[in-house]
Amino acid sequence: MEPYEIVSGPLTLYLAPVGTAFPLIDAAPAAEWKMVGTSGDKNYSDDGVSVQHSQSINKVRPAGSVGARKALRTEEDMMVTVTLWDNTLEQYALALSGVDPAATAAGVGTAGFKKIGLSRGEEVKQYALLARGKSAYDEKYAAQYEVPRCYQAASPTVLYNKGVPAGIELNFDALEDLAAAIETELFGRLIMQTADALPEG
């Protein structure tokens, strides 16, 4: 519904190994892209998904000036944050080492189960991240953040309490893409579809 430029609704997050090709804007993600949340955005808290672009600026004030004469950016970060209402071990593992659960089949007199370890170790797992939502040019079109390299930076506290879902906070902190073609795409890019593909032939 117009005006299209006013966008609402959560993004849906997907993770894949670093180096995985991002899908075309009008195509479904390939099998390598694993959705965050068993049911995608239906497993995210009411806070939705936030995309934060933070920076640190050093304002240069010479001795002879009261106001700043120049601004120098010293730090820049990008972070995608969601609280996951999904306690399956496949999703819980995203907050820890990122290692898939180990499954033990049921046997005679023994229950089947899955398990994950609760320590993370020294190695920090990296992902490529895809965040899909609506285009600001027409709501029937898609928009997607493409982050080539990131890691899960949150230190979540999982609260188990009466009457509220147990939430797992995930913060995907972008790292510079070592293969970026241009400097403005070191953290990736935001793409919004504006028109349908032309027919072949």
57 pLDDT more than 90? yes
Q: Which tokens sit at 153? A: 């930076």
- The per-residue pLDDT of the chain, averaged, comes to 95
Q: What is the pLDDT of residues 113-140, one digit of tens each?
A: 999 999 999 999 999 999 999 999 999 9
Paired with 127 in beta bridges are: 150
Q: Which tokens sit at 33? A: 């892209």
Q: How far apart are CA 92 and CA 117, in angstroms?
A: 10
Query: Which helix (H) or strand (E) is 92 found in, with range?
Result: helix 89-92
pTM of the model: 0.93
CB 134 within 8 A of CB 191: no
Cα angle vertex 156, ends 154, 161, to 5°? 160
Sign of CA dihedral 112, 116, 117, 118: negative
pLDDT at 97: 84
Q: How far apart are CA 127 and CA 33, in angstroms?
A: 10
Longest CA–CA span in the chain (Å) reads 84
